[in-house]
Amino acid sequence: MAGLFSGKILRRRARATQTERVRERRHEGFLRYAGFRWAKISGGLCLLVIVSYALVDVQPRPNGGSWYGYTLGTIGALLILWLTALGYRKRRMTHDYWSLKAWTSAHVYLGLALIVIGTWHTGFQLGWNVHTLAWALMMLVILSGLYGVIVYATLPAALSNNRDQMTQMQMLEAIRAFDRQLHAAAQPLDAADTAPVLAALEEDPFAGGIRARLTGRYPRCATAAAHRALAAATGGEAEARAKVIALLTQKEAALARLRAHLRLRALLEVWLYVHVPLTFALIAALSAHIISVFFYW
Amino acid sequence: MSFILRRIATTKTGKQIVRDQPLDGDTITLGRDSGNAIHVADLAVNPQHATIVSADGRHVRVTAQAGLGFDLNGRTLDVADIDSAAGAELRFGGHRLTIAREGEAIVLLVERIDELSQSSKDVDEARAFSLAGVLPGKRVGAWTFALLVLLAFLVGPIWTWHSYRGVDERPQGFHADQAWLSGPLSSAHANLKGDCQSCHVEPFVAVTDKACVGCHTGEHKAMSQAHANAPSGMLLAARAPPGIGGRVLAGFAQAFNKPPGRCVDCHSEHEGAGPMPATPQKFCADCHDGMAARLKAAGFEATVADAADFGTGHPEFRPLVRTAPGAKPARAVLGQGAVADFDGLKFPHDLHLQANGGIARMAASFRGRYDFGTKLECANCHRPEADGVRIAPVKMERDCAMCHSLAFESVGGVTRTLRHGEPDQVVADLTAYYRSTPPVRPLQLGGMERRRPGGYAEGQVYNIYFRERAARPARAADAVRAVFSKGGACYDCHTVTPPAAGKSWRVEAVHQTPRFLGKGWFDHDAHKETACADCHTAAPRSKQASDLLVPGLSQCRDCHVGESGARLMKVETATASPCAMCHDYHSDGGKPWVPARQRRKPVIAVTGTESRALYAVSWRAPNAGGG
C-alpha cells in the first residue's frame, strides 16, 4: 500500500504544495495567478477572434447566423455556463487541482474575453430584440464583474485603515457605550433639550437605504441634529448640556467610522447584487435566444 | 391603604431580585426628576410626569401633567381611572407601570421594557453590516429576473405562435414574437414584420420554398429554365466541395435540419431595412467556378464554360450570328478571328463615319434641317428602344431616308415615294407613273402663238416632245430595272435578285438581330455617358455590313472588374461587377434586378438630349442641287 502513495501522485502533490507556499508568500492574488496565465490565454483568444473576423469573408454580411457566428455563439454560450459554475464551485472544497484561486482567475479573464466573443458573435448587428437583450445582459454582467474586480483590488486597504483594528461589533459597542452615557448625562436636561437627545438615541445606526449606504451621506442624522440643537440651546442646565454635547461629538465620530465601514462594504458587495441576478436573467435570455433561433429556423 | 413600589432587577446570571418599597400617602408623583416618589430614569419621561391618586385604596386615578401623556391599552391618555383589583399596564416612555392589588395594598411595578437606545438592540452581524438588510436578496432577484425574461421572451412568443397557428394573416399590431426579430426585414417584406408565421410556419423547421411561392407565383416560382431542366444529380455534382467554413455551416445545417438549396440560401432576409441585397457572386461561383471539370468527372456534359469572377475568370462572349446570307442564327465565339454576321444589308460603316468626303458633306448640308453635325454620328442613324436598354433595329424610313430618298414625284406639294419593303409595289408605282404622266411640255408649245411648220422635224421641238410622249410607257421597264440594278436606289443597300421563272424583282430579306447576347444582359442606357466607338471599336473601320461589331470581353473589362475588384489589367475607373449585374437567375425577360440604391441615377447632362422623331421626307427637284 505504501508503494501506492509514494509514487508520482505524492511527489506531484508535494510540488504543488511548494508552489502554493511560494504564491502565499508573494501574496499572489487571483489577478496575477500563475504569472497572469489566464490573462494571456484570454488575450490570445480575443486576438484570435478579432483577427479571424477580419480575415473571414462572411456573405452577405457578418451576423450570428453565419458559420463563423455559430462558432463564436457556441463558444460564448458554453463559456457563460462555465463562468456561472463559479457560484457552485466556490461552495465546494477541493484539495488538489483547480484551486478556487485558479478558477477565479480563469473566471475573471475568460469573462472579460466574453466581451469580444459575444460582441463579435453579433457581427455588430444590434436591435430591439431578445438577441440583443441577451448581449446587453451579458455586457452588464461582465461590466459589473469588472467593477467587482476593481473594488476587490482597491477597497480592502481603505476598509482596513478605517477599521483601525476594531471588529465590526466593537464599532457598534462603542456607539452603545456612548448611548448609555448620553442617556445618563441627559437626565437633568429639560424637556426641550431632551427631545433631540432622545431622537439621537432612537436613531438606528444601520438605518438608511442603499443610497445612504453607497454614498455614506446621512443628511438627516439625528445625532448631528441633536448636536446642532443643543449647541444652539440656551438657558438652564448649561453644565449638563455641555457634557451631553461632548458625548454627542464622540458618538458622531463613532457613527462616522461605522458608516464609512458600511459604505466600503456596500461598495464591495453591491456589484454582486447586479452580477448574480443578471447572470440568471442572462441565462434565461440566452435560452430564449437559442430556442427562438431554432424555433423560427 | 398604601402603595407598594416594586422594582425588579436582573442579575448577570439572569436571576431576578424583587425589591418592595412601601410609599406613604394617597398621592404619589412619577417623573424623571429625582424628587418624585417614583423616579423613572428615562429621557422619554418628563421630570414631573404624572400623579397617582387613590381615595379608597382600591381605585386609582392616574393623571398626566402637562405635556406627555401615558399609554393605556394602546391609547394615549391624560387621565385614567383604574380598578387595581382588575389591574392595568401603563406605559411611560420606555418604562412600564403595572398596577395590581396584593392583599390590601396597591402594588406599582416599574420596569424598563425598551432598550436604552436603538443601537443597543441585538443585531445579526452578518446581515446588519452587509447589504442584505438594504437590498432584496440575490436569489430573489435571480429568480424574478430569470422568470420575467422567460415569460416575456420565450413563453410569450411561443404562445403567440400557437394562437395564430393556421391563421392566414395575423391582425396588425404588436405580437410577442416580434421580440425574436433578428434584424429588420427588407423593404419588399416590411409589411410582414408583425407576421412571423407568414414565412416561419412550423416550429423547428427551416423556412421552406413553399412559404415563398405562396406569394411569389409566376416567374419566380420556378428556377431558371437552365437550372430547372438540369437533373438534380447534375446540380449536386456542379457544387464545389465546401471549405472549412462551409463544412462547419453544412454541419450546423445538417445537425439542425436546415436543408440546402432553398430560395433563402440566396435571398437572405433580416439583413437590414431597405431593399433586399443583390445575390452575391459567391452563390453563382460556388458551382460555376471549375464546374466543367466536376461535371465531366461526374459523367455529365458541360454546356457552359467555367465562370468564377468577371474580372479574372469569365468566358469570351458568344453572340448570336448568321454566318452566311440567309443562314439560321448560331452562337459564335469572339476573339478567334473575324466573325461575320450577314443581315442582308450592304452598309459600309467606314464610309458613313468618315470625317470628310461625300457623305460628310451631304450631312453637313443638312445641318439645321436634321440634327446632323459636320459629319454623320452613330446616333444619327441608330436609335435606342423606348426603355433605353437596346438599340432598335434600323428603319429605312426613319433612319436612312433623310439621305437615301425614295421620292420620285411631287403632286401639288405632296411628295410621292416608292414603297420601301414592297418591291412589287415599287414596280407597279413606277409603271403607273410612266403611263399617266406625260413628259414635261416644252415652253415653245405653250401660248396661242402661231407656229411655223417643220416643228415635227427630227430634233425640232414637236418631234422631241411627241416622240417622247409616244415612247413613254415603254420607259417604265427601264426605270424599274434602273432602280433595282447597280446605281439604283434599292441596289445601293440591298442584295437584289433579277426576275426569273415567273418571279419579279426580289430583294433579299433583312434580319437585324435585336439581341446578340442572349444569356447576359447589356444595358445601353447605363452606358450612355460612354461614346459608342469606345466599345464598338471596329465600327469606324468596318467596310462590310457583315462585320460583327459587338464588343468582346476585353472591352467590358476596361471598366468592369470582379465583385471584389479582381482584374487582369489596369483599370482606371473600376466598376465592381457581380454576376447578377448582367445575369438573371430567374431569367424572366426583364432587366436583372438591382437594389434601388445601386441603380444608376439619370445624369441630367446626358439625358437632356431628346431622341429624334421620324425624319420628314421632302421632294427635291433633280436640278435643285445638293445630293
Give the 3-state secondary structure of residue B162.
helix
Given A70, A131, A197, which is nearest B43 (Cβ)? A197
Q: Residue B451: what pLDDT? A: 64
What is the per-residue DSSP string for B239-277?
SPPP-HHHHHHHHHHHHTT--SS-HHHHS--SS-SSSPP
Rounded to whole angstroms, how far apart are CA atoms B221 and B244? 33
List of chain A residues whose C-beta atoms are within 8 Å of the C-beta of residue B150:
284, 287-288
Q: In this complex, which of B118, B133, B180 lies closest to A129 when CB atoms are compared?
A: B180
ipTM of the complex: 0.86
Backbone angles phi, psi at A100, to 5 degrees: -60, -30
CB-CB neighbors (< 8 A) of A67 in chain B: 245-246, 248-249, 252
Return the bridge partners of B29, or none: B51
A293–chain B Cβ distance below 8 A for any pair? yes
Is any Cβ of chain B less than 8 angstroms from the Cβ of A283? yes
Q: Which three cell numbers mark B511? A: 434580319
Ranked by mean pLDDT, the top range of A60-69, A286-295, B291-300 is A286-295
* Residue B619: all three cell numbers together: 421632294
Give me the pLDDT at residue B226, please: 63
> DSSP readout, B98-129?
EEEEETTEEEEEEEE-S-SSGGGS---HHHHT
Cβ contact B200–A297 (<8 Å): yes
Neighbours of B108 (CB within 10 A): 24
Could you identify the residue written with the cell 435643285? Answer: B624
pLDDT of amino acid B492: 83
The alpha-carbon gap from A288 to the nearest alpha carbon of chain B, in Å, equals 5
Q: In degrees rounded to 5, what are phi and psi of residue A121? A: -60, -35
pTM of the model: 0.69
Rg from Cα positions in chain A: 28
Q: Which three cell numbers stand for residue B515?
A: 439581341
- Looking at the partner chain, which of A169, A201, A283 has a beta carbon nearest the beta carbon of B118? A201
> Which of the four pLDDT bands, split at 50, 70 and 90, describes residue A259?
very high
**Closest residue on chain A to B155 (Cα):** A288
Contact call for B153 and A204, based on CB within 8 A:
no
For chain B, the farthest-separated pair of C-alpha atoms sits apart, in whole angstroms, at 194
Helices (H), A164-237: 168-185, 191-202, 210-215, 222-232
| Mean pLDDT, 10 residues at a time, chain B of 627 residues | 81 86 87 87 87 87 85 88 89 89 87 85 87 88 95 94 88 88 86 87 87 73 64 80 76 78 80 76 85 89 87 90 86 80 88 87 83 86 85 87 82 84 86 76 64 63 68 75 84 85 82 83 86 88 88 89 86 86 72 62 43 50 42
> Do the chains contact at B145 and A278, CB–CB below 8 Å?
yes
User: Minimal CA–CA distance to A130: which of B142, B181, B175?
Assistant: B181
Give chain A positions within 8 Å (CB) of B272.
125
Measured between CB atoms, does A71 come within 8 Å of chain B? yes
Out of B135, B203, B271, closest to residue A295 by CB:
B203
* Residue A205 forms contact with B (CB below 8 Å): yes
Q: How many CA atoms lie within 13 A of B63 on its CB side?
A: 8
Q: Which chain A residues in 234-273 lie under 8 Å from chain B, judged by CB atoms?
A: 261-262, 265-266, 269-270, 272-273
User: What pLDDT is stored for residue B623 in this prediction?
Assistant: 47
**Chain-chain contact of A285 with B153 (C-beta, under 8 angstroms):** yes
Q: Quick one: pLDDT at residue A38?
A: 92
- Note the pLDDT of residue B463: 67
Of B118, B135, B149, the CB nearest to A281: B149
Chain A hits for B141, CB-CB cut-off 8 Å, are 273, 276-277
* Adjacent-strand bridge partners of B384: B391
Which three cell numbers, joined as nine digits, stand for A93? 472544497
d(CA A227, CA A2): 74
Given pLDDT bands bounded at 50, 70 and 90, which one contains residue A50? very high
Residue from A92, A105, A104 nearest A37 by CA? A105
Count CB-CB contacts under 10 A for residue B349. Answer: 21
Alpha helices in B274-321 (DSSP H): 282-288, 291-297
**Inter-chain contacts counted by CB atoms under 8 A, chains A and B:** 189
Nearest Cα residue to A270 out of A204, A209, A198: A209
Helix-, strand-, coil-residue percentages of chain B, each rounded to 5 = 30, 15, 55
- Contact criterion met (CB < 8 Å) for A292 and B203: no
pLDDT in tens, A95-151: 766 788 888 999 999 999 999 999 999 999 888 999 999 999 999 999 999 999 999
Q: How many CA atoms lie within 13 A of A265 on its CB side?
A: 21
Q: What is the pLDDT of residue B116?
A: 83
Omega prior to A60 cis, within 30 of 0: yes
pLDDT of residue A59: 66
Cell 439583413 found at: B271
Per-residue model confidence (pLDDT) at position A217: 92
- What residues in A contact B114, CB-CB < 8 Å? none
Q: Which residues contact A85 (CB under 8 A, 6 or more apart)?
A: none
User: Does A269 contact B130 at a Cβ distance shorter than 8 Å?
Assistant: yes
Asked if the Cβ–Cβ distance from A277 to B141 is below 8 Å, we say: yes
**Is the CB of residue A180 less than 8 Å away from at least one CB of chain B?**
yes
Instruction: Please tell me whether residue B509 adopts helix, strand or coil conformation.
Output: coil
Can you give the pLDDT at residue B625? Answer: 38
Nearest CA in chain B to A167: B125
Q: How many residues can be counted in chain B? A: 627
Q: Which class for B9: exposed (0-12), middle (13-18), buried (19 or more C-beta within 10 A)?
A: exposed
In which band, very low, low, confident or very high, does the pLDDT at A188 lie, cut at 50, 70 and 90?
A: confident
Sort out which chain A residues have CB atoms less than 8 A from B125's CB and list them. Answer: 168-169
pLDDT, mean over chain A: 88
Whether A112 has its CB under 8 Å from any CB of chain B: the answer is no
Q: Which long-range contacts (CB under 8 A, 24 or more apart) does A249-254 make?
A: A250/A178, A251/A175, A251/A178, A251/A179, A251/A182, A251/A200, A251/A223, A252/A221, A252/A223, A252/A224, A252/A227, A254/A171, A254/A174, A254/A175, A254/A178
